[in-house]
Every structure is written in structure tokens, then in C-alpha cells.
Amino acid sequence: MTATIPPAIGQPLSRVDGRAKVSGTARYASEIPVPDMAYAYVVGSRIAAGRVIAIDTSAALAEEGVLAVLTHQTLPKIAEQPPLIPSLAGTAAPGQTFFPLQDDTVHYAGQQIALVVADTWERAQYAARLLRVSYAETPPVTTLDQGRGLSYEPERIFGGWVPGRIERGDVEAGLREADVRVGGTYTYAANHHHPIEPSCTTAQWDGDDLLLYDATQGVNATQMTVSRLLGVPMSRIRVIGHYAGGSFGSKAMIHAHPTLAAMAARAVGRPVKLVLTREQMFTSVGHREEQEQHITLGATHDGRLTAVRHHKLSPTSHFDDWAEPSVGTSSQIYACPHYEGVYRLFRANTMTPTFMRAPGEASGMVALECSLDELAHELGLDPIELRLRNHTDVDAMTGLPWSSSGLRECYERGAQRFGWAGRDPRPGTRRDGNWLIGTGMATACYPVAPLANPQRARARLYADGTAVVQAATPDFGTGVATVMAQVAADGLGVSVERCRFENGDTDLPNIAAAVGSAGAGMISAAVHSAASALRRQLIRSAVGDPGSPLHGADPVDVVVHDGVITAGTASESYSDLLRRTFRPDAEAAGQWKPPAHDTPYAMMTFGAQFAEVAVDAELGLVRVRRMTGAFAPGRVLNPKTARSQLMGGMLWGLGQALLEANHMRPDTGRWVNSSLGEYLVPVNADAPDVDVELIEVEDDIVNPLGVKGVGEIGQVGAAAAIANAVHHATGRRVRRLPIMIEDLL
């Protein structure tokens, strides 16, 4: 009898590359040695608006080891203006339509104005200091206060994906008929991603062929972008990026540096490595924009929403209409007849903002969920009860049913684990010595990204019984190599120890950039398809082969466990089959086309967040003591890596609520914080117990394995739960993030 092995999917396996990562043997993009390498140092503009009049390069060029100084006067022109649409699914994704070093205009502080290339990094950096740059400066506009009077309503935002206005019903009428109205203005400081690994690219030309080692969320996106900007065919560009040391959206768009590295390498005739400094990470890879949201909820006495009005104002660049879609889920997740969501933008001296973890939802759900908390307080209703009264089984905007939800179970299980029942709703009533104690909750939700292009993977089984599955995707910390080995093992019917996932290379089957929490869903779909195709191929081969003990068996009666094909009492291992038929290996390709927009379902992931805070009544200090999150992310491929993603997201929500902030100076147009020492993020000492509950829901719409994604939803609602807990502790409704000590004194 065949020993049965449990399915690999769902096992809490440790990362297959964990040891390589912690021991330093995993090679990140900038660590891959290339012979004869030169180093590029980027020089950014010191002014935020105006023109470069002249750059005196003579002193820099006279330094030993300096190979070139490239400025707008010497760098070649790009072949094509970068496209606006950041469709990471199928086209190039440069992040903004502006490409630097093409003329003398300065649009924002830190904009690249020169590249110094030298034989060592230190010499390039030193020579960069010798450049004499003269500017003609004009007064910048960078802050909300400066831009408020200059705003306009864009037709579309977020790279064209989202309309600038979302409406249903008559929001004025809805607010008029309401018994209660709550809301206010929520302001949010700008945020930066700051992965530990800064963005970096090494470029190496071999004749007309370009090889790039790039830290990216999508090697294919890098390939497509550089191809378009340089006018080099895609078939001539190979991009390798096995690992990225964190990303969170900063490596989703392909910003200017990979193309600049390729241009510099061509200019000096040597491979060139370009690594952004920590300071340059503030001005080169996008950020979450500073913003202001105005929200008004109207409701009946019994807590039914009659209207939601949700407006947002934020700065964008001089060239793109970008706002993260903060107004969106507020139109979808609660039943409410009247809705109005409007974006307003103003042109500012900034680069185009970009995706940052839960782009839009992380900020928008703060305004919505804090306002619901306010409403619950006004009406004397429990916050969960208020949400249940407005629960909807359909997308309130489109009327389409959710492909799956699980939200009710999330409230229920989250409340149980947190110990929500019996909470005294009166603010300021619980104390622990000098600390005021409060608890708060919020709904979490994140859309299942409507990616459109087909995803591909390849599976190969060797006669020794080991298997390799391949797809182009890099691993930026999510555990994709582990999880995809699990998916492949079950698809093939072999043990997970015998499956290896090979990835991070454009020579492998194409996979869209892993964005929008869609990586696990889309890659698993392609890997599952490839592995299942290979299993079917081998079963067909066995039952059709007169030399096989399985000859003549009906394929539907055939099972495969641990590499052994069995039908009734007959069996043969994959290895025996391949060896007997003189095949060193067998291979199959798999493909999956996402349902995208052509399904009569709305696709959303749901969760519920709970937090307990302690606020020092005299000092205004806030400490988060506990966090519980219950999430329903469809099928969980690996509860250990999924839990890690969700915990990371929840702690990011803590940072959003209490720590993370950057501001532009109104006079210079430069970021006030430009190092990790000043840009605060939660450290271990700030991190409370984080309790994550996974609620599995079945979903056969989103993708073959029903994976809805865990990358972003952990952050959504966490900041709102904390802000609501601060209100419960102190009676103060703070509508500014991060919440500062001075807000509570």
C-alpha cells in the first residue's frame, strides 16, 4: 500500500530560504558580483522648483577613478516618454510620466540631475560632492496648506484605474433625512515604505544584450519598462531579481534608476551598479501622499446609514493625476443608499506618489471606521452591532454579490479572542494606575486585485523523483518559494521536500509583478495549473503504456501520492515510469487567466481588527497593549507565512496610527525627515502581543485555489482600531495621523 502523505497546502512550513537569508548566503540584487564593475552615484536637486543653470563637472572629472559625469546635457535622450498607465499586469510601469535628466527643469527636490560613475562607490560619492551646480529657483508648492486654493477635480486617478468621482443616489438628500450626522476632517502625514534593502540595479551590456540585476516586485515589469525607455527590444533584455529585501510598493513601479544604470553602463562601457542611498529612498521611489479626508455619515436612530460623503484632497506631481484610492471601500462595504466620493488634487513640487501597502484602503478606512465609532458612540450602540446593522452581502456600489466574505465570522471570532463582550462603552472609565485604558475595533477590507493578463508557470519532474517549478516572480519577503513548493507538491502528487520553486528571472515563464496582495493568488494559480498538467500528462502516459502496471486503467480512478501513481491494486512510481520509457524528465506548462472584470461577482477580502491601548493621562503617551486581527483571506496556503504577513501589516497599522510621518518644508520644498533615525517606525519595544486568527472561506471565483491574499489587509483597519481605542481611553477623538502626544495633553 502507498503511504499517504498529508496535503502540503495548509501546512505551516518554515521558509525554505530562511536559512540562506539569515546566514547571508541568499544573494540580493546588489550583492551579485560582476567583473569590472563601475559604480554610479545619483546626484539629486537641492531645489524643489526651477531650473539647473549650469553644472561644473571639471573638478569631479579630474578625480582619480572617475569615468563619467552624466547630466541633462550629456545623458542620451530616452526613446519614448514613460507611459502613465501603471498597469503592472501587461505594460511598462515607470511610476511617473516624467523621466529625469532630459532637460534643465527641476520639478521636485531630490530629482536626479546628474550621475557620477567611478571605479569605486566611494570615489563616485566623493566626486559627486565636487559638482558645482547653479540653479534658478522659483518658490515651491509642496504642502496641503499651500495647495488648498489650487485644487482641481481629476477625471481619473491612480494611473487611470479609478474615477475621480464615485456617486450613487443623492447624498444631500440622504444627509438631510438622517437623524444623526457625524464626521469631520482627517489629516494624514506623508509616509515612506523604507524596506531594509534600498532600491538598486546592476546593468551589464554584452553587445546589444542587456542584463539587469534588479531589486523589484516584478522582473517582467522592469524588462518592459527599460525596453520602452531605451528602445531596446524585450528579447534583448534579461532581468534577474531573486530576492528583494522588502518592498511594500516601493519596488512595484519601475522608477528611473534601472534605466539610468543601463544608460550609465552603456556610456562607460562597463557594468554599472547603482544603489540608492537611504536619503534618496525618500525622493526616488514614490511615497504615500500627505492627505486630508472630509467624511460625513448620516444615519437613522437605529443606526442604519442613509448617506456617506467622503472627499479627499492631496498633492500630486506636475505631470500625473495620482492619488491613492482612499475613497473607494467606503462606497462598497456597508449598505447605504446615498454615496458621494470625490478626489481633489493640486499640482505640487513632488514626484508622483505611488503604491504603499494597502494603497488607499489604509488611509480611507481610518476616516470611515473612526466615523462609525463616533456614530456608535452617539447612538449608544456597540460598534460591532452598528457594523452588523449595515452589513451587506453585495458590493454596495455595484450590487454584485461578494465572491466570498466571512466578515461576520471575523467580527465574531475576533471579538471572542480579544474579549470584546461586556466592554463598558463609556470613555475614560478604565484605569491601570496612571494609564487610561481603552479598546477599539474596526473593519478591515482589501479588494482582490483585478489583474488581467495571463500568468504562466512551468513544472518539470526528473526521473529521480525531484521536481522544479518555475515562474519569473521575485521573492520580496513574502515566502513565495516556500508556498509555491507546497502548491506544486499537491498538484503533482509528490512530497514538498522534493519540490523546488525557481524564480526571479525573466527567462522563466512570465508572471505579472506581485502587487495588490495578488502574488499568492496569481502565482499559485499558474503553478497549480502547470503541476496539474504535468500530473495528467504522466497519468496519461502510464495508462496508455502496455509496459505499465497501470495500463488500461481509467485516468479518473488514478491517484498519485508521494510520487506513486496508483489505480486500485496497480501502481508505479513516477521514477519507474520515466526510467522505463527512457525519459530523463517530463515537463508541462501552466497558464491562468484571471477573471478580472468579467465576473458577476465583487471580490473583496475582509477582516476585523481590535486594539487595546494605554494612554498616560499626564504625558499623553500612547502604548498599544494588545492587537487582535481576524481575517478571511480565502484559502490559506501556509498559515505560518500568512500569519507573518498579517502581523507585519498590523504592526504597520500601529506605525501609521502613532509614529510614521514626514512633512515637506513649505519654504524649501524638501522633506523634513531624510533618515531612518528621524522617520519613526515601530520597533520591538513598541510591538504588543499580536494575535492573528485565520478564518478560511471557500472561494471558487477569485482563482483555482481560492486564495484572496494577505499582503495588505493586515494594515487596513489597524490604525482605526487604535484611534478608536484612544478615544475610548481618553474621550478624545483625534483626527490626525499619526496621533501625537500634543493631541492628548
Residues engaged in binding ligand MOS (CB under 6 A): 217, 248-249, 252, 355-357, 359, 515-516
In the complex, least distance from residue 217 CB atom to ligand MOS, rounded to whole angstroms? 6
Nearer Cβ to ligand MOS (357/643): 357
Q: Is the CB of 316 or the CB of 571 nearer to ligand MOS? A: 316
CB of 244 to ligand MOS, least distance (A): 11
Helix (H) or strand (E) holding 646: helix 639-658
Q: Which is nearer to ligand MOS, 198 or 359 (CB)?
A: 359
Q: Which is nearer to ligand MOS, 402 or 652 (CB)?
A: 652
Phi, psi dihedrals of residue 358, rounded to the nearest 5° = 55, 55
Cβ(128)–Cβ(114) below 8 Å: yes
User: What's the min distance (Å) between Cβ of 243 and ligand MOS?
Assistant: 16
180-188 and 291-299: which strand pairing?
Answer: antiparallel
State CA 232 to chain mean position distance: 29
Among residues 307 and 356, whose Cβ is nearest to ligand MOS?
Answer: 356
Q: How far apart are CA 445 and CA 705, in angstroms?
A: 20
Cell 527512457 -> residue: 582
8 A C-beta contact, residue 469 and residue 459: yes
Three-state SS for 541? helix
Pick between residue 78 and residue 252 the one whose CB is nearest to ligand MOS. 252
Phi, psi of 554 (to 5 degrees): -75, 125
CB of 569 to ligand MOS, least distance (A): 51
How far CA 638 is from CA of 326, 394, 479, in Å, comes to 30, 29, 9
* Cα–Cα distance list, 242 to 29, 209, 412 (Å): 7, 20, 40
Q: Please, what is the minimum distance in Å from the beta carbon of residue 602 to ligand MOS?
A: 19
Chain Cα centroid distance, residue 475: 13
Cβ of residue 647: shortest distance to ligand MOS, in angstroms? Answer: 17
Contacts of 323 (CB under 8 A, 6+ apart): 154, 157, 158, 289, 291, 312, 314, 316, 343, 345, 353
Nearer Cβ to ligand MOS, position 478 or 510? 478
What gap in Å lies between CA 714 and CA 693, rounded to an integer? Answer: 11
Beta carbon nearer to ligand MOS, 249 or 688: 249
Select 142 or 217, whichever has its Cβ closest to ligand MOS. Answer: 217
When the beta carbons of 212 and 515 are compared against ligand MOS, the nearer one is 515
- Of 515 and 657, nearer to ligand MOS (C-beta) is 515
Alpha helices in 343-438 (DSSP H): 361-379, 383-389, 407-418
Angle at 189 between CA 188 and CA 191, to 5 degrees: 115
For the question of residue 712 being annotated catalytic, the response is: yes
**CB neighbours of 384 closer than 8 A, spacing ≥ 6?**
411, 415, 420, 441, 608
Indicate the residue whose CB is closest to ligand MOS.
249
CA-to-CA distance for 260 and 76, rounded, in angstroms? Answer: 10
69: nearest Cα among 120, 113, 35: 113
Helix residue ranges, H only, 510-573 = 519-543
Distance of closest approach, residue 358 Cβ to ligand MOS, in angstroms: 7
CB 723 within 8 A of CB 383: no
Q: In which residue are the cell numbers 489597524 written?
A: 718
Cis amide prior to 86 (ω within 30 degrees): no
Nearest distance, CB of residue 711 and ligand MOS, angstroms: 7
By beta-carbon proximity to ligand MOS, the closer residue of 223 and 296 is: 223
Taking the alpha carbons at both ends of the chain, their separation in whole angstroms is 72
Question: Cβ 247 to ligand MOS, closest distance in Å?
Answer: 7
* Per-residue CA distances from 615 to 188, 197, 296, 382 (Å): 21, 34, 28, 22
Classify residue 178 as exposed, middle or buried by CB count within 10 Å of its CB (0-12, 13-18, 19+).
Answer: buried
Strand duo 165-168 + 338-347: pairing:
antiparallel
In the complex, minimum distance from the CB of residue 193 to ligand MOS, in angstroms, rounded to a whole number: 8
Nearest to 116 by CA among 48, 36, 73, 57: 57
Phi–psi pair at 422, nearest 5 degrees: 80, 10
DSSP single-letter state for residue 610: E
The SS3 of residue 201 is strand
Spot the catalytic one: 172, 678, 712, 742. 712
Distance CA 411, CA 631 (A): 9
Nearer to ligand MOS, 324 or 373 (CB): 324
Asked if residue 215 lies in contact with residue 28, where contact means CB atoms within 8 angstroms, the answer is yes
Q: Which helix or strand (DSSP H or E) is residue 469 part of?
A: strand 467-471
Least Å distance, CB 506 to ligand MOS, is 19
In one letter, which amino acid is 252?
A: A
> Rounded distance, CA 441 to CA 370, Å?
9
Question: Which residues participate in catalysis according to the annotation?
Answer: 712
